[in-house]
Structure 1
Amino acid sequence: MINTFFWSESSQALFTDNTGLLFLIESLTPQQQWQDFCHELYHVLLHTRHQGRMSPLFREYQENKANNFMYHACIPSFMLDELEQSDSNALTVHHVQQLFNVEYDFAVKRLEQYINNKQFF
């Protein structure tokens, strides 16, 4: 089970027994909360250790993995594929931002990832 709470501190994920706890900053915009939720969800689903007790390089690795997950969870590739197939003009930053309820810069970065990945395959 995963419980989500809103508070004034920084967003984070904690574990207790078999329950994941997500704490999101209440003052963020809905878009920022959604992005933070996906980032912290990765920690709950795939990490089990307290980051304060691990090496800085491993903590950085975990954060990079959580950030990558965040972009793909907020804006899944299979959904971008569907948009591209139905209307290539739908892959504009503004349209993706509105459709997936993310911030503008977030949509820019995710579309860059998507387009770069398509060029390699």
Structure 2
Amino acid sequence: MNFVYSHLEDYIYNLYTSIGITNPKQLDPRIIAPLLGITLIYLPYDSTNTGSVIFLDSRLSKEEQWQEFGHESCHANLHSGNQAKSNHLFREYQEWKANSFAFHFCVPTFMLKQVKLPKNKELAIIKICLLFNVEYDFAEKRLDHYLNNHFPENYEPITNFLDYR
């Protein structure tokens, strides 16, 4: 079976390789933000973005900050305009897209594919947590999505992939 990437997986691959990000050790907001032309500011408030400025909540763990950076990076790079003035259904759609983007941004398929994962699911999740600096629930959902999409004959589907926030 050929390994086929989705459009989002291709986008993430092209985005990262265009700025020289090729391995999990480089997945850090402080490294990636300047390479993407993003100003990163840490404050004790909820994470958000305004144009090319991302404000990350300094009260969060490093893992949560990385996940929030992935989410806000989608808004900064792919969404324009004032969300507050948008139709609520369109805002919901953009949030759904940003959540999906965050999973792929924080645990890129092209990197995950190179990892030799244990057959035991819990050990595989822990390995993803450690390699990609994400929380357990986030890693579990990302692993489920990866297996569902790329190895569906060996895996049962999940229903709540995007509900991590």
- The normalised TM-score by structure 2 is 0.65
Matched residue, 2:127: 95
- The one-letter amino acid of 2:118's match is N
Provide the rounded CA distance (Å) in 2 between the counterparts of 1:105 and 1:78.
Answer: 21
Provide the rounded CA distance (Å) in 1 between the counterparts of 2:43 and 2:117.
Answer: 40
Give the CA deviation at 1:97: 0.6
Provide the rounded CA distance (Å) in 2 between the counterparts of 1:11 and 1:60.
Answer: 17
When the two chains are superposed, the root-mean-square deviation of aligned CA atoms in Å is: 1.6
Unaligned runs of 5+ in 2: 1-36, 154-165
More helix per residue: 1
Matched residue, 2:104: 72
- Structure 2 SS opposite 1:102: coil
Measured against aligned partners, the alpha-carbon deviations of 1:20-72 in whole angstroms (never above 9, x if no partner) come to: 11001001000000000111011010111111000110000000111111000
Provide the rounded CA distance (Å) in 2 between the counterparts of 1:35 and 1:77.
Answer: 15
Provide the rounded CA distance (Å) in 1 between the counterparts of 2:142 and 2:152.
Answer: 16
Unaligned runs of 5+ in 1: none
Matched residue, 1:4: 40
Give the CA deviation at 1:119: 3.3
Matched residue, 2:136: 104
Aligned pairs for 1:1-121 (under 5 A) are: 1-15=37-51, 20-83=52-115, 87-89=116-118, 92-120=124-152
Provide the rounded CA distance (Å) in 2 between the counterparts of 1:13 and 1:88.
Answer: 34
Q: 1:81 to 1:27 in 2, by over 3 A?
A: same
Give the fraction of aligned pairs with identical amino acids, expressed as a percent: 41
- The one-letter amino acid of 1:13's match is N
Provide the rounded CA distance (Å) in 2 between the counterparts of 1:114 and 1:69.
Answer: 13
Figure out how many residues of one structure are paired with residues of the other and give that number: 114
Which aligned runs of 4 or more in structure 1 are off by greater than 3 angstroms?
none
Provide the rounded CA distance (Å) in 2 between the counterparts of 1:12 and 1:70.
Answer: 14
- The one-letter amino acid of 1:56's match is H
